[in-house]
Amino acid sequence: MQESTSPPSTTKKLLPVILATSIFMQMLDSTILNTSLPTIAKDLNESPLNMQNAIISYVLTLALFMPVSGFLADKFGTRKIFIASLILFAAGSLFCSLSHNLTQLVFARVLQGIGGSLMTPVGKLALIRTFPKNELLKAMNFAIIPALIGPVLGPLVGGYMVDYLSWHWIFLINIPIGLIGIVLSIKYMPDYRSNIIDFDLKGFLIFAAASLLLSIALEMFGNTAHMTPVLSVFFLGFLMLYFYYRHATRDNNPIFPLNLFKVRTFRVGIVGNLATRLGISSVPLLLPMMIQIAYGQSAVTSGWIVAPMALTAMLAKSNVIKILNKFGYRKTLMFNTFMIGILICCMAIPVIQTSFYWYMPIIALLGFFNSIQFTAMNSISIADLRQYHTSSGNSLASVNQQLAIGFGIAFGLIVLKVFQGDVKLIHNEIHNAFRYTFLVIGGLTILSGFVFRRLHFKDGENMRAKE
């Protein structure tokens, strides 16, 4: 492994900022588009339903290329791959803004997706290799905040840009942010690589096919009333995962070694991330949708309702390390997951006559606990990984997180559609369908907290951070 024994202090100060910049750009872009699709569709003379292709193409590209991020970083170096990813993402953003039809927009989104699939995993890998375990939590805690702020600011910024500027600016805003990241990366991004460059092409193709099929199935969930083709694609996706398992047991150097799952903290982190995000991921989509559909408010108003989540996430940032140091990962993750589930259930309490501002304190508390949750889950996943497993483990965690978010959004929409179709149960009131949906996903989140019982009370002690 070619890496400096002691990175310069400036690098250690700015590397979390560089990663935060890329995460913010990616999370902002993935959410800012949602509020702008009707306007873009009108300008491109397309049906708003067809515009889903602009989102699907990006998600599928992420799923396809994320598994290869660790190998490319090991072979060509973290600095080169990270800078290349920023250039691809910024170029894709520029081409998106210049698109004159849906086909051009889809191709530009694919280019963005290639950059996005490398950007965050490679930046996170550099962070893991730069900081010792007892400093990593603090660095990761800083870098993860944009992942919480982006989904909140996205709809808000998108609404204002579409109303007062034009839809082109939702893509152009990425370019100056990307340029800042490139300039900082050229000077301060460490260049780690590995001498082991044997690439498991067969394993990559099998795993990429599995990720692709599962992502397609997730997108189909929200866009079709016929479940047979969706379940068929899901079955094929899980079948490909089984084929990968068979391949990995025979190959000497699989892209994702199965002995990763012998590390208990990694295994619990992966399963816990998947389980808890089934409930958490759909809330930033469902709440603004409810404010607009049930209460008849504008997209900008619904954006302001969820805005407190960003402020409390920042507040939690300064307390996460103290909480984990005092209570440990096991107690913190179990209690925190239960609290998130209870808060989601609380969103079912207000009736339609209640002011929608009632949701603001709930969403504010949710932002605080989400900040703790994501920092704790992400850091415990890599707490006990050996140095030679950091690339593959980090890449797999990134793919898992992407699929978990997709599963969560799809699950929330499916539950909402089920209740929406039961007119007698909801008394022909769409607001009740949202209320019952919050109860279901909140209850599921509470149950997912028991996943973290598998942690030992001493797990994560090597991550004890300097406050």
Q: What is the pLDDT of residues 203-255, one digit of tens each?
A: 888 888 888 888 778 767 655 556 678 788 888 988 998 998 898 888 777 87
Helix axes 69-76, 102-130, angle to 10 degrees: 60
Exposure on the CB side of residue 72, measured as CA atoms within 13 A: 22
Is residue 229 located within the same domain as residue 354? Answer: no
Q: What is the DSSP string of 277-311?
A: HHHHTTHHHHHHHHHHHTS---HHHHHHHHTHHHH
Are 295 and 304 in contact by the 8 Å Cβ rule? The answer is no
Question: For 164-178, how does the pLDDT look when each residue is reduced to its tens digit (9 = 90+)?
Answer: 777 788 788 888 888
For residue 30, the model assigns a pLDDT of: 67
d(CA 156, CA 363) in angstroms, rounded, equals 15
pLDDT in tens, 276-293: 988 888 887 788 778 877
- Distance CA(81)–CA(56), nearest Å, equals 24
Position 1 scores a pLDDT of: 46
Same domain, 283 and 308: yes
Q: Among 254, 275, 300, give the residue marking a domain's end.
A: 254
CA dihedral 33→39→41→44, nearest 10 degrees, is -110
pLDDT at 8: 66
Q: Which two tokens stand for residue 349?
A: 């309490």
272 against 384, higher pLDDT:
272
193, 206: one domain: no
Residues 374 and 280 in one domain: yes
More confident: 300 or 76: 76
363 and 321: one domain? yes
Would you say residue 3 has pLDDT above 50? Answer: no
Contact between residue 408 and residue 280 where contact means Cβ atoms under 8 Å apart:
yes
Residues contacting 354, CB < 8 A, separation 6+: none
| pLDDT of 349 | 85
Task: Name the residue among 372, 365, 295 with its Cα closest to residue 327.
Answer: 372
Domain final residue, candidates 235, 254, 273: 254
Average pLDDT, the chain: 80
The predicted-structure confidence for 118-154, as pLDDT tens digits, reads as follows 888 888 888 888 887 777 777 777 777 666 666 666 6
Q: At residue 454, does pLDDT exceed 50? A: yes
Out of 210, 229, 254, pick the residue that ends a domain: 254
Greatest Cα-to-Cα distance within the chain, rounded to the nearest angstrom: 67
Provide the token pair at 68.
């290869």
- Please give the residue that has the higher pLDDT: either 424 or 312: 312
Do residues 244 and 272 both lie within one domain? no
Long-range contacts, stretch 245-248, CB < 8 angstroms, 24+ apart: 247/202, 247/203, 247/206, 248/203
| Tokens describing residue 159 | 């609404």
Instruction: Tell me the pLDDT tens digit for each residue of 311-353.
Output: 788 777 778 888 888 888 889 999 999 999 999 999 888 777 7
Q: At 252, which amino acid appears?
A: N
The domain tally of the chain equals 3
Mean pLDDT of 45-52: 67
Query: Are 120 and 133 in the same domain?
Result: yes
Cα(430)–Cα(329) distance, integer angstroms: 39
Q: Once rounded to an integer, what is the mean pLDDT over residues 60-69?
A: 81
- pLDDT-above-70 percentage for the chain: 85
Q: What pLDDT sits at residue 354? A: 75
Measured distance CA(108)–CA(174) in Å, rounded: 14
- Asked if pLDDT for residue 4 goes beyond 50, the answer is no
Q: Are residues 340 and 404 in the same domain?
A: yes
- Cβ of 93: how many Cβ atoms within 10 Å? 25
pLDDT at 422 over 80: no
Do 408 and 449 fall into the same domain?
yes
Range of the domain at 284: 260-467
Q: Name which of 144, 151, 60, 146 is nearest 107 in CA terms.
A: 60
Which amino acid type is present at position 364? A
CB-based burial label for 49 (10 Å; 0-12, 13-18, 19+): exposed
Does residue 418 share a domain with residue 284? yes
Higher pLDDT residue, 295 or 345? 345
Question: Is the CB of residue 88 less than 8 Å from the CB of residue 111?
Answer: yes
Computed over its alpha carbons, how large is the radius of gyration of the chain? 21
DSSP 68: G
Which residue would you say has higher pLDDT here, 390 or 245?
245
Q: Residue 434 sits in a domain of what CATH number?
A: 1.20.1250.20
- Residue at token pair 């609404």: 159
Same domain, 296 and 352: yes
pLDDT for 6 beyond 60: no
What single-letter amino acid sits at 220? Answer: M
Concatenating the DSSP letter of every residue in 156-212 gives HHHHHHHHHS-TTHHHHTHHHHHHHHHHHHHHH----B-S-----HHHHHHHHHHHH
Task: Name the phi and psi angles at 2, rounded to 5.
Answer: -95, 105
Structure tokens at 72: 């490319």
Which of residues 85 and 64 earns the better pLDDT score? 85
Size (the chain), residues = 467
The yes-or-no verdict on residue 439 having pLDDT over 60 is yes
DSSP letters along 197-265, please? ----HHHHHHHHHHHHHHHHHHHHHTT-S-HHHHHHHHHHHHHHHHHHHHHHHH-SS-SS-GGGGGSHH
Tell me, yes or no, whether 417 and 375 share the same domain. Answer: yes
Distance CA 143, CA 127 (A): 9
Per-residue model confidence as pLDDT tens digits over 72-111: 888 888 899 999 999 999 999 999 888 888 888 889 998 9
